[in-house]
């Protein structure tokens, strides 16, 4: 009997090399045959395939299926093919780059955090979500965000506030982004009464730092939205383009807003 790895390798190979619409068509045919189908019945599916590469790969899969997991149902094989295909689609459409603030050793010219963030904001078309522990001295970032707002880009900030975090932050959230941008965006905080505490009664902090553009691109970084973090600190993050991670990040914070865990504040 062949190793079960042969069946897995056949499934992965089909997902990698065959267009998804062809794979899903085959899956529909697989799901239509009975669980107790014979090898010859399964081969009938292959006979109807006109694309040579897919036909050969499916025939190899059926042989591996027969040799490895005779009790595995057609629906089980179909689900495995679909899962592998969806995973491969996401892998192909997602790109991850390193983003860095600080000195670059020879041969390591990573994109700078400030420039990545500015480029993301300037390219925005529909929405911007920025999450940061603290923000100050970000005049150029603020100007780019104001320009985006004038293009009807919806801007949401999630940020600490001196009135909401037990005095841990020295800069008020609204003052940090400036009154003009505050009027053109929505600012949310994590109210102290919604936070958990440790045994000593100390409150947790909003310490996440990320930005999501159009639910299609995201930067997740150690850097706060400050002059030092964007220019002279040592900070590291990832720029994620495509895939479902940017959407997941955005939807996660939108859910926190809908649940009332994050609370909208107004300019004073």
Q: Is 139 in the same domain as 222?
A: yes
Is residue 246 domain-shared with residue 160, that is, in the same domain? yes
Co-location of 198 and 231 in the same domain: yes
Are residues 139 and 59 part of one domain? Answer: no
Q: 36 and 120 share a domain?
A: no
Asked if residue 248 and residue 133 are part of one domain, the reply reads yes
pLDDT in tens, 246-268: 999 999 999 999 999 999 986 54
Q: Indicate the pairing of strand 235-241 with strand 95-101.
A: antiparallel
Domain boundary among 49, 69, 92: 92
Residues contacting residue 8 through CB under 8 Å, at least 6 positions apart: none
Determine the length of the chain: 268
Q: What are phi and psi of 152, to 5 degrees?
A: 70, 30
159 in helix, strand or coil?
A: strand
The whole-angstrom separation of Cα 129 and Cα 264 is: 14
- For residue 227, the model assigns a pLDDT of 82
Q: What is the pTM of this model?
A: 0.67
Same-domain status, 71 and 109: no
Report yes or no: 97 and 132 within 8 Å, Cβ to Cβ: no
**For the chain, what is the domain count?**
2
Residues 36 and 73 in one domain: yes
| Segment 12-35, tens digit of pLDDT | 888 888 888 888 988 998 999 888
Q: Domain check: are 85 and 137 in the same one?
A: no
Point out the domain boundary residue: 73, 92, 111: 92
User: What is the predicted pLDDT for the residue at 172?
Assistant: 62
Average of per-residue pLDDT across 93-97: 85
pLDDT in tens, 143-194: 999 999 999 999 999 988 655 555 444 346 667 778 899 899 999 999 888 8
At 11 the three-state DSSP class reads: helix
Query: What tokens does 80 get?
Result: 């495995």
pLDDT at 188: 92
The predicted model gives 41-51 an average pLDDT of 80
Residue 108: give its domain's CATH number: 3.30.870.10
Q: Could you say which of 57, 72, 92 is where a domain stops?
A: 92
Query: Do both 85 and 111 map to the same domain?
Result: no
Residues of the domain holding 255: 94-265
Token digits for 27? 């899956």
């Amino acid at each position: 009997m062949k190793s079960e790895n042969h069946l897995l390798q056949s499934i992965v190979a089909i997902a990698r090399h065959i267009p998804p619409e062809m794979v899903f068509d085959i899956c529909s045919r697989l799901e239509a045959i009975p669980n107790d189908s014979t090898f010859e019945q399964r081969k009938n599916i292959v006979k109807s395939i006109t694309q040579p590469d897919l036909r050969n790969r499916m025939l190899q899969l059926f042989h591996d299926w027969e040799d490895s997991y005779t009790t595995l149902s057609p629906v089980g094989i179909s689900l495995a093919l679909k899962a592998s295909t969806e995973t491969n689609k996401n892998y192909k459409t997602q790109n991850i780059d390193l983003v860095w603030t600080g000195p670059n050793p020879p041969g390591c010219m990573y994109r700078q955090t400030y420039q990545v963030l500015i480029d993301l904001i300037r390219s925005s078309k529909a929405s911007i979500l920025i999450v940061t522990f603290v923000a100050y001295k970000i005049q150029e970032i603020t100007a780019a965000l104001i320009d985006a707002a004038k293009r009807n880009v919806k801007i949401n900030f999630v940020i600490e506030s001196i009135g909401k975090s037990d005095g841990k932050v020295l800069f008020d959230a609204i003052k940090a982004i400036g009154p003009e941008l505050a009027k053109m965006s929505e600012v949310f905080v994590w109210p102290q009464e919604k936070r958990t505490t440790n045994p000593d009664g100390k409150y947790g902090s909003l310490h996440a730092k990320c930005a999501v553009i159009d639910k299609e691109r995201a930067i997740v970084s150690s850097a706060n939205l400050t002059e030092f973090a964007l220019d002279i600190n040592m900070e590291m993050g990832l720029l994620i383009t495509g895939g479902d991670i940017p959407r997941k990040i955005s939807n996660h914070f939108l859910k926190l807003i809908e649940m009332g865990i994050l609370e909208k504040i107004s300019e004073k």
